[in-house]
Amino acid sequence: MKHSRKDRLFDAVDYQLEKFPKEDMLAAKVNGTWTRYSTAFVREIADKFSAGLLQLGVSGNDGSASGADKIAIISSNRPEWIFTDLAVQQTGAVLVPLYPTTSLLELEFILNDAEVKYIFIGNQELYDKICSIRPQLSYLKGIYTFDQVPGASHWSAVTNMATPELLQKVQEVKEGISPQQLATIIYTSGTTGTPKGVMLSHHNIVSDAFMGKVSFPFYDDPTKKALSFLPLNHIFEKCVTYIYFYSGTSIYYAESLDTIADNLREVKPDGFTTVPRLLEKVYDKILATGNKLTGIKKTLFFWAVGLATRYDNIKSGGAWYNLQLALADKLIFSKWRAALGGRVDFIVTGGAACQEKLLRIFWAAKIPVYEGYGPTENSPVISVNTRKEVRFGTVGPVLEGLEVKLAEDGEICVKGESVMVGYYKRPDLTAEVVKDGWLLTGDIGILQDGKYLKITDRKKELFKTSGGKYVAPQPIENKCKENPFIEQMMVIGADRKFVSALIVPAFPYLKQWMQQQGIPFTTHEAAIKEPKVLEKYQEVIEGYNSRFNHVEQVRKLALLPDEWSVEGGEMTPKMSLKRKVVLEKYKEVIEGIYNVQKGDH
C-alpha cells in the first residue's frame, strides 16, 4: 500500500512496521518497571482488540457521524489508551475521549449526547465515578477497565474474543474506511455552557500531523524517545502522538504529573510537549534549588539566571556576554539539563501564552522551548516556532499547507485540510465559526514581519471598563507573572471604573522574603494579611504599571491564599484559567476591592 497524506490514523502502525519496526514503540511503568511494547505487538493487539469490538457489535455502520457507534475512554496516559484508540478507529467507530477530571454532570451530558455504547476506564477511582451515574446513561451497554478492578470486566476480555475469522473481518473493515471518515469527537469543556463536541476526521488529524512534521521538522529517527504526560484526550498530545509514530520516535508515558522529574531522568527523552504552567513549575523548582544555596554558589547561580534573562537568539550579546554564558553553562546550566535527562533537544509548548522571560532563560541554558498554537477545531496546530526559525513572544510561522488571515478586528482565521468537520449535532454553532471554509478561532493576533503569528488575546477575554475602554488581560498577567513573587494572577475590571487583579503569591519565595524582613511566616492566610506583604505586592505591581497604558494599569489588588488548580475547578485540564469560575468564586473579594474606593476614578 502506498503511504501518503491520505492515510487513515491507524495506518501509522503499518508505516512504522515497514520503515522502522521498534522494540519500544510505546513504554510505561508496570509495577515499578519500564515495560516496552514493540511495533509488531501494537499491531497485533490493536487487531485483536478490533476483532473483539466487532464481536460486541461495534461498527462504523454507514461511516456518518450519526451512524457510527461511539466508544468512550477515560484514563490517564498509558499504552492501553493507544490500543483502544487504534482498535476503535479500525472498526470505523468513533472515539470519544474524556478527561479523568471531568465533572459528573459533564460526563453524564457527554456520554448521553454522543450516545456512547461502551466505555474503557483506567482505574478503580474512575470506574466508581462512572458507576455512580450509570443509571442515567441510557445508551451504555458495557464498561471495561485497564486495571484489574474487583467486579469489573477487564479489557483483555475484549481481545480474548478474537478469532481467525474476526481478524480477517478486521482487515476487510479497515480497507473500507475512508480518510474522510470521522475518527473522534472531542468535547471541549469551555469555561461556560455545555461542552461542544468537535468532530475530526482521520484526514483532519493526519494532515495536521504531516504539516507539523514537515514544518517543525520532526526527522525520521528510530533512536529518538519522547516522554508523554499531557492528556491524550487533548488533541495536541494526540496529534503529536501520530507525528511520533510517523517519525519512529518511541513514546514513554510518565507515571503521573508528580513523577515527571524522576521519569525524565530515567527515560532521558529527546523531547516532550507541555503547557506553560508546567514549565513555570519547572522553573520555580530550579529557583528553589538556587535559593537553598549559600555563599559563592548562590551568587554564581543568580548571576547565571541574570545572564539568561538577557539572552537573544537573533542578536548576539557580543564576545564578553558569550564568554560569560559559556562559563554559566559549564557551572550552572549543564546541571539543569542533567535534571531533564541530559538529552532534551526540543520542548513544544502550547495551550496558553508562555512568558517570554522563561523562553529566554531556557534557550540560554540550551533547553530549546518552541511555542506553538492552535485550537481543537483545527486538529489543532496552526503555527509553531521551528528548528530553523524561532521568534520569542510569537507562536511562530504558520504551518506549510495552511492559510491564515486576520479579520478586521484582528481575529485569526484559518483555512486548510485540518479544519474540523463541525460541532456534533450543532450545525448552528458550526455555522458561527466556519464561514466559507475559514475557521474563526476566537483569538486575536498580529503577524510580525508578515510571517510570525503573535496572539494578543482571546476575543472573549477582552473586557470593557465602565469608561468604555477595552483591556486585554493576558499580556498584563504574563508580564507581571515574570516576577518571582507572583505565582498566578487574573486581571479584572469588566464594567468597573478601573482595572484590579487577584494574585496568588509564590509562597515559597514570599516566605523567604518575610523571614529576611523579620516577619514571622505561619500560614498562607496570615501572610496575605500582613501590611508589609500587601505593601510589597503593591510595589511589585507599580513597577509593571509604567509598561501599560493608563487604562490597563492595575490600581488595586487582592492576595489569595490558595493556588488555582484543575481539582479546585479554577483551571481547565490543559491549565488555562476559567475566568468565569474565578469571578464567581471570589465575588466577595472582588466586591471588597471595588467597594473600598467607591469614589475612585
Q: Check residue 599 and give its pLDDT.
A: 44
CA-nearest of 334, 167, 368, 342 to 266 is 342
pLDDT of the residue at 20: 96
Q: Which is more confidently placed, 161 or 474? A: 161
Q: What is the mean pLDDT of residues 549-554?
A: 92
Task: Judge whether residue 126 has pLDDT over 90.
Answer: yes
| Domain parsing of the chain, residue ranges | 11-202, 462-596
Q: What is the pLDDT of residue 573?
A: 83
What is residue 408's three-state secondary structure? Answer: coil
Q: Is the pLDDT at 403 greater than 70, yes or no?
A: yes
Grid cell listed for 172: 476487510
CA distance 161 to 50: 10
Indicate if the pLDDT at residue 577 is higher than 80.
Answer: yes
Cell of 583: 469571578
Residues 64-99: pLDDT tens digits? 888 999 999 999 999 999 999 999 999 999 999 999
User: How would DSSP label each residue in 458-514?
Assistant: EGGG-EE-TTS-EE-HHHHHHHHTTSTTEEEEEEE-TTSSSEEEEEEE-HHHHHHHH
- Which CATH architecture describes the domain 462-596? 2-Layer Sandwich (3.30)
Q: In this predicted structure, what is the pLDDT of residue 412?
A: 97
Q: Are 141 and 153 in contact (CB under 8 A)?
A: no
Contact 465, 496 (CB under 8 A): yes
- Would you tell me which CATH number, out of the four given (1.10.10.60, 3.40.50.620, 3.40.50.2300, 3.40.50.12780), belongs to the domain 11-202? 3.40.50.12780
User: Please, where are the H alpha helices in 293-375?
Assistant: 295-309, 319-328, 334-339, 356-364
Using alpha carbons, list the distances in angstroms from residue 339 to 21, 308, 362, 375, 600.
30, 18, 13, 31, 50
Rounded-to-integer distance, Cα 88 and Cα 84, Å: 6
Q: Is residue 14 very low, low, confident or very high in pLDDT (cuts 50, 70, 90)?
A: very high
In 3D, which of 549, 440, 423 has the Cα closest to residue 498?
549
What is the spatial distance between Cα 324 and Cα 319, in angstroms, rounded to a whole number?
A: 9
For residue 600, what pLDDT is reported?
46
The string of pLDDT tens digits covering residues 224-276 is: 999 999 999 999 999 999 999 999 999 999 999 899 999 999 999 999 999 99
Residues 13, 19, 20, 23, CA torsion sign: positive
Please give the average per-residue pLDDT across 356-379, as a whole number: 97
Q: What is the pLDDT of residue 352?
A: 81
Q: Do domains 11-202 and 462-596 have the same CATH topology?
A: no
Q: Is the pLDDT of residue 325 over 80?
A: yes
Alpha helices in 57-148 (DSSP H): 79-91, 104-113, 124-133
pLDDT of residue 120: 98
Q: Determine the average pLDDT of the residues in 266-295.
A: 93
> Rounded to 10 degrees, what is the CA torsion of 113, 115, 120, 123?
40
Closest CA to 24 of 205, 224, 256, 278: 224
Residue in this structure with the C-alpha cell 476591592, named with its chain if needed: 593
Identify the pLDDT of residue 340: 96
* H/E segment holding residue 372: strand 369-373
Phi, psi of 382, deg, nearest 5:
-105, -40
Q: What is the mean pLDDT of the chain?
A: 94
User: Taking Cα atoms as reference points, which of 11, 128, 147, 17 lies closest to residue 81?
Assistant: 147
pLDDT at 188: 87
Report the share of the chain in percent with pLDDT over 90. 86
Task: Taking each helix axis as running N to C, give the angle between helix 473-480 and helix 531-545, from 0 to 180 degrees, rounded to the nearest 10.
Answer: 120
Q: What is the mean pLDDT of residues 42-57?
A: 98
